[in-house]
Chain A
Amino acid sequence: MAIVKDKVGVVSCSGEDLPEGTISRIATRIVLEKLRPNDTVTICLPLFLAGSEDERAFARVFPTIAIDGCDKRCAEVGTKKYSGKPVATIVVSEIMQKYPYLKAKSRGKLSAKEKELALKVAEEIAAKVDEVLERKKRGDSN
């Protein structure tokens, strides 16, 4: 199956139980809607199990970046288990260490600080998308 070279798949963990899961979900949406709308696609992580072979082909069709809220890395593990190995993983809790003044506390509606954190994570995702596309352009598969 051919890899689609001009789009990157972004798979978010969505982690309902943790504020970091909400940050990863919102950051992913910011990338899809605002930062890289023409370069990215997504799929619901639980759809890998609930869907058909078409859904499970996702990471074999698109180079994929997993966005995880915590170190359990459900998006990375789930994508690898059901679809294909992601080319990169971004973990929100690791990015948060760079911005100690931005805490994630809400699981529902985000505060101004949490929105700022989501944007920081989104910018890291967008940079990784650019890197993956650049690598693909050069024909480098790693």
Chain B
Amino acid sequence: MLKDGRVFVIPCSGIGKALGTVGRAAMYEVVEKLRPNEATTICLPLLTIGDEAVLKLARNNPCISVDGCPFQCARKNIEASKGKLVASFMVTDVLRENKDLKPKAVTELDPKGLKLASILAEKLATQIDEINNNNR
């Protein structure tokens, strides 16, 4: 399926922290279930290494970063690639609003982590709708 013309949701996928996994799970919930025709993703590492095809996609389409920790690797890599960053989400902000949903496992999310990912996914879907409404 063509990727051009959709909103790119790009999580950090942080491998060292559970909140990186939450961001990644939220992205899949959005691009595979909630907004499969409006949103898609690209590999963040491809942006990091400067892959020409992925750079072009990130520069020509609205991008949303999703970060698990204050390093904000997704946001910084999109900015460094001169991608069209239109919104940034921090998993820590969603956790702050839902303090009882602190996930523990990194590899496979526990029920709390999955719930946190679903809440974030809803927020991402709302943001995608706003972006698309503004572009009409």
Contacts and interface: CB of A to CB of B under 8 A. Distances in A.
A91 interface: no
Given A29-B106, A30-B107, A44 B42 contact: no
B48 interface: yes
Contacts of B80: 49-50
A45 B25 CA distance: 18
B107 A33 contact: yes
| Interface SS majority for chain B | helix
Interface residues of A, number: 32
B46 interface: yes
A16 B77 contact: no
Measured as residues with beta carbon below 8 angstroms from the partner, the interface class of chain B is: 20 to 34
A108 B25 contact: yes
Contacts of A75: 45
Contacts of A30: 107
Contacts of B46: 15, 17, 72, 74
A70 B55 CA distance: 18
Interface string A29-44: 1100100000000111
Interface of A: 12-18, 21, 25-26, 28-30, 33, 42-51, 72, 74-75, 77-78, 81, 107-108
23 contacts: A14-B43, A14-B44, A15-B45, A15-B46, A21-B43, A28-B15, A29-B15, A42-B16, A44-B13, A44-B14, A45-B15, A46-B45, A46-B74, A47-B73, A48-B48, A49-B73, A49-B76, A49-B77, A50-B73, A72-B46, A72-B51, A77-B49, A78-B49
Interface of B: 10-16, 20, 24-25, 27-29, 32, 41-49, 51, 71-74, 76-77, 80, 106-107
